[in-house]
Amino acid sequence: MFKRSLLRFLNNLKLHNKFVIMYIFCVIIPLVITDTIVFYSMFSKEYNNRRFEMNNVAIGYQNVMSSMINYDINIINAISENKALRQFLDRDYENSGEYMIAYNDFIVDSFFQTLTGMRNEKITVYSDNPTIYNGKYFKRLSSAKTMEWYDRFISSGRSETLLIYYDNDVDARIESNKKIMFVKRFKNMYDSKYDKVATVEINNINLQSEILQFSDVFPMYICCGNYVAITKYGEGVTFLNVEEQEALHRHSVHHSFTIAGTRIDIHIYSDDYLISGILADNFLIIIGLLIATLVLPVVIMKLIEETIDKRINKLGEAFSGNSTDKFQPISDIEGNDEISLLMSNYNNIVKINNNLINTLYKDKLREQENDLARKNAELLALQSQINPHFLFNALESIRMHSLLRGEDETADMVEKLAVLERQNVEWGNDLVTIKKETESIEAYLYLQSYRFGDRLSFDIDIEKDCENYMIPKLTLVTFVENACVHGIESKSSAGWIFVRVYKKNDDLCMEVEDTGGGMSDAEIASLVKNIDNVSIEQIKGKKHVGILNACLRLKMHSENEAVITIDSEVGVGMCVLIRVPLNKLTINKE
């Protein structure tokens, strides 16, 4: 069932659409799946290699940073355990002079100055000994208690810690305010009576330079909590909250380690670089793979389709025929496959068919042309039967004779009759505007009013935009005449004749209605039957065929699309409605 439905569906598709389906399901989709698997495997391998490299860089950063900071920590540890330093700071001095002598002696005799100058780091020792004075290397502890680093050190609850922070508030953070400091409280040994704290401010410029000398390939942040200690990503980035760190990139390597109880986070990012780097490194392979697996098969299948589709279309155009009176053979048959054989067989059929056309079709066409010419001649003869040409000259003579004898009323009647007949003198053109036809109707009804007197009243209503449409001569006049003769004349009381022309939807509607004697259902059925089957043979040589003549000419003029309906009731009247499509009528633009 499914196979039958699928075959029915495919049979209804054009050849090009069949090839499109074949492209999609037999070429595009398999190749896309294959290339996706290959690309994914290649990308995954490169991606993992890059992440491994990024992880190694992160470990290298950790080693460099740990090495430099641990060096300073070892210096502080050495200072804190120096007995001479402790004795210097625990001594009570009488005055500043005594302190300065002891200070100079200690600096000269000890290694302290040498240690503090090796790395250009700022080392300071604080003591709560009130007899010492603030200087370059030694300061009273009271002077540190108002500083942020001291508050952070006390808040840590540890005897030693690494602090990374900014002195100013968040809104005013700049690179120069960044502090990386190791703080250590001296152990209470050797009966020291004063509290002592040593600090070393690590030169972050030197630290960053050493780290970036190891590797500057990947963007990175080295953070302590929310503070950015070292960065190679954006200028002036000093603070990142957790959400920013997580949302910054999808592809990253996160590495953490601890120094002096402080956690350091290394974030190495490579989102855009990773993807573009992989594509750049494998560009030639990717292009070659695309050409080999996607472009080349599509091009080949497109060429095959063109060789088939072009000849099938050529054969289809040949079968559909053209404006000539016979099928034309196909020239320049290319190839030697089944389609070429089919085109050759078509040429053989065309040859046989054209011979049959010459013997049958042309003879039939010639017979039809002769028959059409005969009918046109007979139609002109019928027109001549309606109104003889000599009648107009005779009417004009009668009118002039009546004027000479003073019979004005008779002359007026003859003039109206002349108006009625004037348009029918020349039968070379059987068409007349509705406006001209209306003049003939008015002249005819005026003449009939002399005959019927008060028994006849009429009303003519023609829409303005209908006046220039062309209809066969005497069509409406013929129906008006029928209304007078068979309607008003058969009724002793007064009657009306209404003539209306208007547009409705896409039709021109012409109505002739009378309040005369009407017709029975049987009479209407007989008349409608005659109208529907009217032909030249039916009305040729017969009398009283005015209605049928008018109907035949209307049908011929409208390519048999004129519709004539009759509604009548005995003793009430009769209404004839003629509907002709507007696109079957011409308009007189003169």
Which contacts of 127-130 are long-range, i.e. CB under 8 A and separated by 24 or more positions? Answer: 127/89, 127/194, 127/195, 127/196, 127/197, 128/194, 128/195, 128/196, 129/89, 129/90, 129/91, 129/92, 129/194
**Closest residue by Cα to residue 467 from 430, 426, 437, 496:** 437
Copy the structure tokens of residue 148.
């942020």
List domains and CATH numbers for the chain: 47-271 (3.30.450.20), 282-370 (no CATH), 429-584 (3.30.565.10)
Looking at residue 127, what is its pLDDT? 92
Measure the CA–CA gap between 394 and 392, rounded to whole angstroms: 5
Is residue 468 within 8 A of residue 588, CB to CB? The reply is yes
Digit-coded pLDDT (tens) for 393-443: 555 556 666 666 666 667 666 666 666 666 555 555 678 899 988 988 888
Query: Burial code of 174-196, b = ≥16 C-beta within 10 A, e = fewer?
Result: eeeebbbbbbbbbeeeeebebeb
- Rounded to 5°, the CA angle 6-11-16 comes to 110
Asked whether the whole model's pTM tops 0.75, one would answer no
Looking at residue 321, what is its pLDDT? 59
Q: What is the side-by-side strand order in the sheet with 262-269?
A: 227-232, 220-224, 262-269, 252-259
**Closest residue by Cα to residue 473 from 426, 407, 509:** 426
Which contacts of 209-217 are long-range, i.e. CB under 8 A and separated by 24 or more positions? Answer: 210/64, 210/68, 211/61, 211/64, 211/65, 214/57, 214/60, 214/61, 214/64, 215/57, 215/60, 215/61, 217/57
**572 C-beta neighbours (distance < 10 Å), count:** 12
Digit-coded pLDDT (tens) for 296-336: 777 777 777 677 777 777 767 766 655 455 567 777 776 67
**Closest residue by Cα to residue 349 from 382, 365, 375, 327:** 327
Q: In a structure prediction context, what are the per-residue pLDDT tens digits for the chain, which is 590 residues long?
A: 777 777 777 677 776 677 778 777 777 787 778 777 877 787 777 778 878 888 898 898 899 888 888 988 888 888 888 888 888 888 999 998 899 998 888 887 766 666 665 666 788 999 999 999 998 889 999 998 888 889 989 998 898 999 888 766 444 445 556 788 899 998 876 667 889 999 998 887 888 888 888 887 777 888 887 778 888 765 566 666 666 656 555 557 888 899 988 999 888 876 555 556 566 666 677 777 777 766 777 777 777 767 777 777 776 776 665 545 556 777 777 667 777 777 777 777 777 777 766 666 666 666 666 566 556 645 554 555 444 444 555 555 566 666 666 666 676 666 666 666 665 555 556 788 999 889 888 888 888 887 787 888 899 999 999 999 999 888 898 899 888 888 888 777 888 999 999 999 999 999 999 988 888 888 888 888 888 888 777 666 555 567 888 888 888 888 889 999 999 888 889 999 999 999 989 998 76
- Rounded to 5°, the CA angle 560-471-417 comes to 135
Q: Write phi, then psi, for 497 (nearest 5 degrees).
A: -125, 125
Residue with tokens 């013929």: 478
Task: Burial-class residue 476 by CB neighbours within 10 Å (0-12, 13-18, 19+).
Answer: buried
Looking at residue 503, what is its pLDDT? 94
Name residue 581's beta-bridge partners. 507
**CA dist 136 → 116, 140, 222, 287 (Å):** 11, 11, 31, 66
**CA dist 200 → 76, 182, 404, 489 (Å):** 7, 5, 147, 135
Copy the structure tokens of residue 9.
């569906």
Measure the CA–CA gap between 15 and 37, rounded to whole angstroms: 32
Measure the CA–CA gap between 380 and 536, rounded to whole angstroms: 11
Q: What is the side-by-side strand order in the sheet with 456-462?
A: 456-462, 495-504, 507-514, 573-581, 563-569
Digit-coded pLDDT (tens) for 93-131: 999 889 999 888 888 776 666 666 566 678 899 999 999
**Closest residue by Cα to residue 431 from 383, 470, 479, 476:** 470
- Alpha carbon 191 to its chain's center: 88
